[in-house]
């Protein structure tokens, strides 16, 4: 069997394995969310200010909230299996539409964050390890320590204060300039300008993490026997660092990056609120307070699918990086 | 004929300040001629490896560096040349092979690429020429299926194949000097014999000077022209192989040679009638799991132990001998039920312990105890020696004071100071730690001691002491011993009975003297033939 068919089979197998995991997550989430007091009707009624009990009962009946929990769960599962995530009464829109709209925004933010954090983390870690115990190493280490220890929301606010309000380089919030109605290339530029500050804010923390990991990993690899062999073969230090040590040192960093994609969605809630980025994090935050369970469940489902898929991608990258890992 | 390649004059290597001695290597002189093999012999910490590394400029800088002296190669002093010049020489004029071929090769790079690098950084050749040359090198070192191995990663090869690839790499540019730092220590005996032969062949073909670092006098007897014996960083004796091995002058050399286990089997003793341990049809497989939803093939099943019958009588030592992967350690682990066997019976006296539940097994645990191979890894670094020894009896319900008293006695028995009781394992040397391991095993007053390669990680003089200790204890306490080893010389010295294992099966079993004198099985014969220095053991030496 060739490597590519092996990988195809492996992907199929992993996706199949993902289905029961995702179903379990859906069921657990369903019960967890229903543990909390109150439902969407309570919130709607509270906001309206003058709802009679009869009207509330009627609303519940309309939303299907008067049914016993297991029945609600079965109905929900049936809908999920037919790819219908239900209706958000709060937003008066199908959940599918709502989520996929917002997902694009979050996906954009996450992708740019990962690229920035992993890319620069590796670069800085490499630099620190190569210039071990020099001022460059010290500056990088201190930088990593400070960004690691600074709260995200504060960084976000300071970014806005410095780069938006004082310097005026970037917009303060949102994803597009709504008043401008850009199209085509102008639209892309506009979105990228809006993307800069949230991305930097969200990636700083992870950047610090990967920098430290990469530095430690490089130093560990420098101590391995194969490095002595490479020197004994008469290779240049350049070759040893960039070809021999670097590839081995990348392995733990890639693993860690894969694990953290899930955590990124959580981290994005704060950043999205600070920058009013119209993403899933913001949506989840709002729907939690509106007791909009359908929407919340939908978001959870999407993020669990995302984690399953990203882990699969990381595993595949890993088996290209490390020939010792075999897919089976 | 003799062309001088390398001369080391009055070389000292400094250790970092605060180390237990100032010099790793002190005032040594050494010469190497073309076509000659010089063996540097010594125990761990003697400075033999650092001497080799100093020639390559591979000392772990900046902590360890050359203090004084010179290393002359081709008219240049290697301690003074620039880094760039040193880099040019490495791999082309002087190359090196290492002890552990698994870690010495880059795990994420193919063998072909790792050979290719040498050409890329030393000579200018087209990629096609380089690929052809790499392939022919792999053919030269007798690797099977070289077209496949050139694209293989190190983990896909066996230990012997990896070392052959290392040698191919080292000899790629026909170096004048090959430095071999214990290149066969991590290999099985039969593989070791093949690798030594390969080095010898290549040396003849290329007229290379070989500086061979080893701790094994058997290997020295087989390959060396001249020998240098090192102790604590100093040369204590040099001479031709014949001089040093047959009439050593220095007391240290004498004691080292005396400590080497000989291939002469011990005298047979009368066998007791009581059978303390008996296995019948023991089998153990690993892997072989089912596939998932029909995707992928089921895992490969490895039959580690197949249908093994052994019988251990009271007071005797039964050796289980085999190469790595033969299943000897798995058998030991089954016998003390660290792992459960799949089939068969293991009888401790009259009781079959394979079917006992964990709680039913407990009273039997103390009757059979184990001594492990690695004295560094097998003792908990956070627990004091006294507690390590007395823990077992306390868990078995003994009074704490009695257990401590017993621990002190055991320290006496294994030859450790009573003050060791309150120390931590890391404060002891390898040999002393193995003594602690033995005391721990003895604390439960077992009938049977299972020793899994108890001396493999130790220097030869320490090895002799531990073997002697085990023998004394067996006499004193009327112990029976199951002794797992890969070293036939050790087995010859301590075992009454020997079972030879290959691929999970026992291929031959018999009284030690008889088995060594008149082996029946082809595998036993090849094992015996591969023992390094066997000619020397029987009084013959290469001229």
Put simply, the answer to whether B292 touches A17 (Cβ < 8 Å) is: yes
Query: Any idea what DSSP says for residue B479?
Result: -
Where is the domain boundary, A61, A95, A129?
A: A95
Residues 6+ apart with CB under 8 A from B204: B35
Residue ranges for chain B with pLDDT beneath 50: 291-296, 543
Backbone angles phi, psi at B118, to 5 degrees: -60, -45
Put simply, the answer to whether B297 touches A328 (Cβ < 8 Å) is: yes
Which of B307, B335, B345 is closest to B507 using CA atoms?
A: B307
Backbone angles phi, psi at B31, to 5 degrees: -130, 145
pLDDT of residue B227: 93
Which residues of chain B neighbour A17 with C-beta distances below 8 Å?
Answer: 292
B295 touches chain A (CB under 8 A): yes
Backbone angles phi, psi at A294, to 5 degrees: -55, -45
Q: Cβ distance B193 to B110 under 8 Å?
A: no
**Pair (A279, A131) in one structural domain:** yes
d(CA B50, CA B57): 10
B55 touches chain A (CB under 8 A): no
Residues 6+ apart with CB under 8 A from B428: B385, B420, B436
Considering Cα of B60, then B65, then B70, then B74, what sign does the dihedral take? Answer: positive
B37-41 and B226-231: which strand pairing? parallel
Using N-to-C axis directions, what is the helix angle for A246-275 and A152-159, rounded to 10°? 70
pLDDT of residue B251: 92
**Pair (A88, A107) in one structural domain:** no
Residues 6+ apart with CB under 8 A from A65: A39, A40, A41, A59, A72
- The pLDDT of A20-44, averaged and rounded, is 81
> Which range of residues forms the domain containing residue A254?
102-321
Residue A75 counted as domain residue: yes
Length of chain B: 543
pLDDT of residue B300: 64
CATH number for the domain harbouring residue A300: 1.10.3720.10
Residue A262 counted as domain residue: yes
d(CA A187, CA A195): 12
Q: Cβ distance A268 to A103 under 8 Å?
A: no
d(CA A214, CA A246): 9
Residue A328 counted as domain residue: no
Burial class of residue A252 in the structure, from the number of CB atoms within 10 Å of its CB (0-12 exposed, 13-18 middle, 19+ buried): middle
**Pair (A86, A126) in one structural domain:** no
pLDDT of residue A148: 86
Torsion-angle region of B207 (φ positive above 0: left; ψ -120 to 50: alpha; else: beta): left
pLDDT of residue A264: 79
Residue A233's closest chain B neighbor by CA?
A: B91
Backbone angles phi, psi at B499, to 5 degrees: -115, 130
Work out how many domains chain A is built from and give that number: 2
* Total-model pTM: 0.79
Q: Which of residues 206-265 of A touch B (CB under 8 A)?
A: 224-226, 228-236, 239, 243-244, 247-248
Residue A117 counted as domain residue: yes
**Pair (A249, A316) in one structural domain:** yes
Compare CB distances from B292 to A13, A234, A235 and report the shortest one's residue.
A13
Which residues of chain A neighbour B296 with C-beta distances below 8 Å?
Answer: 9-10, 13, 328
Length of chain A: 328
Residue B89's closest chain A neighbor by CA?
A: A234
Put simply, the answer to whether B107 touches A323 (Cβ < 8 Å) is: yes
Query: Any idea what DSSP says for residue B158?
Result: -
pLDDT of residue B288: 59
pLDDT tens, residue by residue, A145-178 = 888 888 888 888 888 888 888 887 888 777 777 7
Enter the tokens of residue B199: 């080095």
Put simply, the answer to whether A226 touches B107 (Cβ < 8 Å) is: yes
Which of A178, A180, A186, A194 is closest to A275 using CA atoms?
A: A194
Which of B511, B484, B516 is closest to B498 using CA atoms?
A: B511
Residues 6+ apart with CB under 8 A from B158: B191
Q: What is the dihedral of CA B34, B39, B40, B44, to 10 degrees?
A: 140
Enter the tokens of residue A189: 């530029």
User: Residue with structure tokens 């995702």?
Assistant: A22
pLDDT of residue B291: 47
Where is the domain boundary, A95, A115, A144?
A: A95
Residue B122's closest chain A neighbor by CA?
A: A234
Residue A327 counted as domain residue: no
Q: Cβ distance B321 to B339 under 8 Å?
A: no
d(CA B178, CA B171): 8
B18 touches chain A (CB under 8 A): no
Torsion-angle region of A265 (φ positive above 0: left; ψ -120 to 50: alpha; else: beta): alpha
pLDDT tens, residue by residue, A201-253 = 888 888 898 999 999 999 999 888 899 899 898 888 889 989 899 989 988 88
B118 touches chain A (CB under 8 A): yes
Enter the tokens of residue B99: 């002890």
Measure the CA angle with vertex A166, ends A162 and A170; round to 5°.
Answer: 70
d(CA B473, CA B460): 20
pLDDT of residue B295: 45
Q: Which domains does chain B have, with CATH numbers?
A: 4-104+177-259 (3.40.50.300), 275-289+298-367+446-537 (3.40.50.300)
d(CA B258, CA B158): 34
Q: Which of residues 154-213 of B touch A (CB under 8 A)?
A: 155, 166, 169
Burial class of residue A46 in the structure, from the number of CB atoms within 10 Å of its CB (0-12 exposed, 13-18 middle, 19+ buried): exposed
- The pLDDT of A165-192, averaged and rounded, is 78
pLDDT tens, residue by residue, B190-236 = 888 888 988 898 899 889 999 999 988 888 988 999 999 999 889 99
Measure the CA angle with vertex A172, ends A169 and A177; round to 5°.
Answer: 90
Helix (H/G/I), strand (E/B), else coil: B352: strand
Q: Cβ distance B524 to B515 under 8 Å?
A: yes
Residues 6+ apart with CB under 8 A from A35: none
Put simply, the answer to whether A226 touches B56 (Cβ < 8 Å) is: no
Which residues of chain A neighbour B153 with C-beta distances below 8 Å?
Answer: 323-324
3-state helix, strand, coil in chain B (%, to 5): 40, 25, 35
**Pair (A259, A115) in one structural domain:** yes
B63 touches chain A (CB under 8 A): no
Write B128-136 long-range contacts (CB < 8 A, 24+).
Answer: B133/B172, B134/B168, B134/B172
B301-313 and B275-287: which strand pairing? antiparallel
Enter the tokens of residue A206: 């992870």
CA atoms within 13 A on the CB side of B90: 29
d(CA B285, CA B306): 8
Enter the tokens of residue B409: 């006695």
**Pair (A166, A187) in one structural domain:** yes
Residue A221's closest chain B neighbor by CA?
A: B106
Residue A326 counted as domain residue: no
**Pair (A80, A116) in one structural domain:** no
B4-14 and B368-371: which strand pairing? unpaired
End-to-end CA distance of chain B: 17
Which residues of chain B neighbour A21 with C-beta distances below 8 Å?
Answer: none
Where is the domain boundary, A51, A71, A95?
A: A95
Helix (H/G/I), strand (E/B), else coil: A90: coil
Residue A112 counted as domain residue: yes
A12 touches chain B (CB under 8 A): yes
Residue A223's closest chain B neighbor by CA?
A: B60
Residue A7's closest chain B neighbor by CA?
A: B296
d(CA B405, CA B410): 9
d(CA A213, CA B269): 61
d(CA B354, CA B279): 10
Residue A325 confidence (pLDDT) above 80: no
- The pLDDT of A257-281, averaged and rounded, is 79
d(CA B171, CA B195): 14
Residue A237's closest chain B neighbor by CA?
A: B87
Residue A72 counted as domain residue: yes
**Pair (A44, A123) in one structural domain:** no
Which of B348, B114, B480 is closest to A227 using CA atoms?
A: B114
**Pair (A119, A264) in one structural domain:** yes
Query: Is cis: bond before A48, omega within 30 of 0?
Result: no
Put simply, the answer to whether B87 touches A235 (Cβ < 8 Å) is: yes
Put simply, the answer to whether A224 touches B103 (Cβ < 8 Å) is: yes
Which of B337, B323, B321 is closest to B284 using CA atoms?
A: B337
Residues 6+ apart with CB under 8 A from B247: none
pLDDT of residue B543: 46
Q: Cβ distance A114 to A265 under 8 Å?
A: no
**Pair (A108, A58) in one structural domain:** no
**Pair (A47, A127) in one structural domain:** no
Enter the tokens of residue B18: 């605060």
Residues forming a β-bridge with B211: B38, B179
Among B96, B116, B117, the residue to mutate for chain A (most A Cβ within 10 A): B117
Which residues of chain B neighbour A324 with C-beta distances below 8 Å?
Answer: 107-108, 153, 155
**Pair (A146, A272) in one structural domain:** yes
């Amino acid at each position: 069997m060739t490597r590519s068919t092996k990988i195809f089979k492996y992907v199929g197998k992993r996706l199949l394995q993902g289905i029961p995991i995702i179903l379990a997550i859906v069921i657990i989430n369903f019960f967890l969310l229903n543990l909390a007091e109150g439902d969407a009707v309570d919130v709607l009624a509270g906001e309206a200010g003058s709802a009679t009990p009869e009207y509330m009962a009627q609303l519940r009946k309309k939303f299907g909230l008067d049914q016993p929990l297991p029945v609600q769960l079965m109905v929900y599962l049936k809908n999920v299996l037919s790819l219908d995530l239900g209706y958000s009464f709060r937003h008066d829109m199908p959940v599918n539409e709502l989520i996929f709209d917002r997902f694009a925004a979050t996906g954009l933010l996450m992708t740019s964050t990962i690229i920035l954090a992993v890319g620069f983390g590796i670069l800085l870690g490499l630099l620190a390890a190569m210039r071990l115990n020099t001022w460059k190493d010290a500056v990088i280490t201190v930088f990593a320590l400070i960004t690691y220890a600074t709260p995200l929301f504060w960084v976000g606010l300071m970014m806005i204060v410095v780069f938006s309000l004082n310097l005026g380089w970037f917009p303060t919030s949102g994803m597009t300039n709504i008043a401008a109605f850009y199209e085509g290339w102008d639209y892309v530029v506009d979105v990228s300008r809006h993307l800069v500050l949230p991305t930097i804010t969200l990636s700083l923390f992870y950047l610090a993490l990967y920098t430290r990991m990469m530095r430690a990993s490089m130093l560990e690899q420098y101590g391995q026997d194969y490095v002595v062999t490479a020197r004994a073969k008469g290779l240049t230090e350049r070759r040893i660092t960039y070809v021999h040590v670097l590839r081995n040192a990348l392995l733990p960093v890639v693993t860690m990056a894969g694990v953290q994609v899930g955590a990124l969605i959580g981290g994005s809630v704060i950043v999205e609120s600070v920058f009013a980025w119209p993403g899933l994090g913001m949506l989840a935050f709002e729907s939690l307070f509106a007791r909009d369970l359908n929407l919340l469940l939908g978001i959870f489902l999407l993020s669990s699918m995302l984690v399953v898929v990203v882990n699969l991608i990381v595993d595949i990258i890993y088996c290209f990086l490390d020939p010792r890992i075999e897919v089976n | 004929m003799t062309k001088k390649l390398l001369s080391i004059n009055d070389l000292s290597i400094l250790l970092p300040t605060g180390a237990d001695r100032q010099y790793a290597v002190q005032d040594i002189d050494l010469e190497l001629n073309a076509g000659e093999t010089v063996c540097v012999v010594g125990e761990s910490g003697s400075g033999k490896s650092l001497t080799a590394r100093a020639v390559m400029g591979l000392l772990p800088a900046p902590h360890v560096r050359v203090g004084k002296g010179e290393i002359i190669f081709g008219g240049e002093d290697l301690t003074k040349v620039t880094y760039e010049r040193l880099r040019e020489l490495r791999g082309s004029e002087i190359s090196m092979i290492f002890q552990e071929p698994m870690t010495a090769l880059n795990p994420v790079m193919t063998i072909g690429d790792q050979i290719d690098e040498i050409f890329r950084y030393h000579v200018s050749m087209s990629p096609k020429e380089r690929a052809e040359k790499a392939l022919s090198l792999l053919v030269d070192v007798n690797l099977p299926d070289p077209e496949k191995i050139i694209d293989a990663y190190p983990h896909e090869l066996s230990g012997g194949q990896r070392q052959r690839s290392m040698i191919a790499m080292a000899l790629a540019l026909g170096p004048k000097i090959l430095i071999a730092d214990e290149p066969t220590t991590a290999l099985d005996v039969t593989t070791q014999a093949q690798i030594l032969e390969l080095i010898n062949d290549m040396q003849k073909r290329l007229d290379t000077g070989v500086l061979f670092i080893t701790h094994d006098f058997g290997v020295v007897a087989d390959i060396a022209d001249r020998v240098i014996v090192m102790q604590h960083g100093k040369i204590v004796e040099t001479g031709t192989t014949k001089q040093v091995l047959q009439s050593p002058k220095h007391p240290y050399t004498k004691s080292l040679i005396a400590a080497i286990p000989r291939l002469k089997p011990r005298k047979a003793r009368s066998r007791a009638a009581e059978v303390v341990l008996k296995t019948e049809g023991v089998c153990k497989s690993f892997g072989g799991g089912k596939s998932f939803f029909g995707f992928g093939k089921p895992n490969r099943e490895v039959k580690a132990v197949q249908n093994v019958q052994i019988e251990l009588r009271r007071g005797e030592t039964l050796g289980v001998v085999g190469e790595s992967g033969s299943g000897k350690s798995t058998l030991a682990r089954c016998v003390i039920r660290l792992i459960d066997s799949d089939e068969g019976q293991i009888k401790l006296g009259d009781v079959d312990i394979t079917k006992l539940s964990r709680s039913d097994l407990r009273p039997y645990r103390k009757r059979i105890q184990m001594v492990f191979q690695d004295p560094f890894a097998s003792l908990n670094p956070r627990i004091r020696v006294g507690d390590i020894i007395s823990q077992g009896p306390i868990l078995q319900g003994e009074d704490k004071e009695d257990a401590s008293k017993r621990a002190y006695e055991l320290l006496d028995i294994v030859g450790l100071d009573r003050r060791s009781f309150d120390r931590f394992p890391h404060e002891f040397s390898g040999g002393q730690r193995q003594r602690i391991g033995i005391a721990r095993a003895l604390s439960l007053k077992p009938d049977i001691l299972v020793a899994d390669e108890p001396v493999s990680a130790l220097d030869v003089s320490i090895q002799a002491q531990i073997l002697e200790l085990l023998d004394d204890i067996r006499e004193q306490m009327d112990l029976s011993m199951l002794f797992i080893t890969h070293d036939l010389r050790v087995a010859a010295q301590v075992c009454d009975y020997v079972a030879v294992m290959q691929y999970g099966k026992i291929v031959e079993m018999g009284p030690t003297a008889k088995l060594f004198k008149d082996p029946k099985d082809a595998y036993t014969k090849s094992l015996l033939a591969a023992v390094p220095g066997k000619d020397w053991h029987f009084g013959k030496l290469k001229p």
